[in-house]
Structure 1
Amino acid sequence: MKTIKSTILLALIFCLAFNMSQAQKMYQIHQDNVKPSMFMHYEKIAKEFNEACKMHNPQTSWVTANTNDMKYMYISPLENMADLDKRPFADMAKAMGDKWAKMFEEFDKCYDSHRTYVIYLVEDLSYMPEGITMTQEGENYRDWFYIYFTPQNAAKVREGMKAVKDLYTTKKSKVYYRIYRNGFGTSEDYYLVAASSKDEIDSATKSKANKDVLGPERWDTFRKVMDYATRVEEYSGEMRPDLSYSPKK
């Protein structure tokens, strides 16, 4: 789980290219693409790492999610791009010595690839009337929808996403969602839609009821996004409080 290094120049180019507001919430995501055959071993090492963090108390925090195709995502808040240059595990690694190296040798056996990137919460496109929060009590199940598009269609897709939110708002939908925009370290443009439920059955029940709430006009509204999307990828999974971490004060 390596932290990417960025220069001030790259940060400036990134901010100019995407015209991101400093007020937007940023998150660094480290993603491990775990091999199915190593799933159980990865779980074991990840829990050992979590326990070691509780012992050594590194000054960082994250929430963890895993998808149905065995991607593990460690999601940390960022104050600014300079945070990417911080080394919160330096003291922990020094204290653990060979145990630290051994732990990451075991991690490396579990995947052929992993990466770190940044996403932004897009509050004005998110639909959570009671307040936007990444985690909700008792709702650890997740549906994630990645909507990809080309740069030339970015404005059209955003307009479509706003139309979808307006429809949900007008109809007082009970299906809430958060919208994220890709950032530094990603190779394609996309919006990520994240919806929370209690479990798979609760997700399906909400989805079915929502169709009736939105009515047939939902198709014309959704087309305002889909007509400009290059592809859509759908994943399900869950938040993992047992693999999440925050330091002791």
Structure 2
Amino acid sequence: MKTLLKKTILTAALILLLPLAGIAQESSMKSFWIHEDVVKPSMVMEYETVCKELVSNMKKYNITEADFIVSTLSGSRYLYVGGISNMADLDKKVFSTLAEKMGGDAMSDLFKRMDKCYDIEHDYVIHLDSDLSYMPSGMTQTPEGKNYRKFHYLYITPENRDIVKEKMKAIKALWASKNSKVEYRVYKSGFGTKGEFYMVAVAAKDAVDYAVSAKENQDLLGEEGKKIMGELYKNLLKYEEYVGEMRPDMAYSPSN
């Protein structure tokens, strides 16, 4: 989370990439800045202790510059997800007020403790695509009582970009026609990601709930579902799947 403090994504570089950010301005898109820490397995407990201490101080002083949710993925990956209106938001000094309230030395010491817990961190932007997402109960990243996550990464190339999108539209139409109970959100890769992809996030109560729902949905969609999913997968560059969990105990929102 050190980069979240130091803001190493340079504004000058981002300005050059503003034409690429136009996708975030479409009415069906909402953009998010992701900060990812890949924590050493032996340091997970220490890392979470420090992060919760940081969040506790943010709550104490009601820091208004920050607002994020947190998800953990297999492989000790921690993702901090915050909404942005435009690329210029990436240059905001998220922790300047906290440094004033806590004292620069105290906050610096806290981040030094955190730095020992990981060697790898990433920053990138993704875009929530409501046109491709299927959430008839209402769009939300945090469905109540469903902190378990399955993240499906569908990697694509410029050559097959259009056909993959069309297949994903067809899948949503099939889900809707069958009144499927399995909802999902679709995110499109943006600035700073490793390759071009769609990420499909599915929420459930736990692993058992996910497995049961997936099987019921498969039966509901039948052969038509198998066919269209097969058409999608054969046009992908590659596919990856990760188990995750939302961490409300590590998230932060200002009180007003």
Give the TM bin, normalised by the shorter chain: over 0.9
Following superposition, the deviation at residue 161 of structure 1 comes to 0.8
Match of 1:242 in 2: 249
TM-score, structure 2 as length reference: 0.92
Specify which of 48, 52, 60 is matched with residue 55 of structure 1. 60
Provide Cα deviations, 1:4-26, integer angstroms capped at 9, x if missing partner: 2333632423236xx45443211
CA distance in 1 between counterparts of 2:189 and 2:43 reads: 29
SS in 1 for 2:159: helix
Match of 2:76 in 1: 70
Following superposition, the deviation at residue 242 of structure 1 comes to 0.6
Output the aligned Cα RMSD: 1.4
Match of 2:166 in 1: 159
Specify which of 109, 116, 130 is matched with residue 123 of structure 1. 130
C-alpha contact (below 8 Å) 2:24/2:30 kept by paired residues: no
Match of 2:154 in 1: 147
Match of 2:190 in 1: 183
Match of 1:169 in 2: 176
CA distance in 1 between counterparts of 2:107 and 2:21 reads: 35
CA distance in 2 between counterparts of 1:127 and 1:15 reads: 24
1:100 aligns with 2:107: yes
Residue 13 of structure 1 aligns with an amino acid whose one-letter code is P
C-alpha contact (below 8 Å) 2:24/2:86 kept by paired residues: no
What is the aligned length? 247
1:87 aligns with 2:93: yes
Question: What are the ranges of 5 or more consecutive residues in structure 1 without an aligned counterpart?
Answer: none
> Where does structure 1 differ by over 4 angstroms across 4 or more consecutive aligned residues?
none
CA distance in 2 between counterparts of 1:233 and 1:243 reads: 26
Match of 1:211 in 2: 218
TM-score, structure 1 as length reference: 0.94
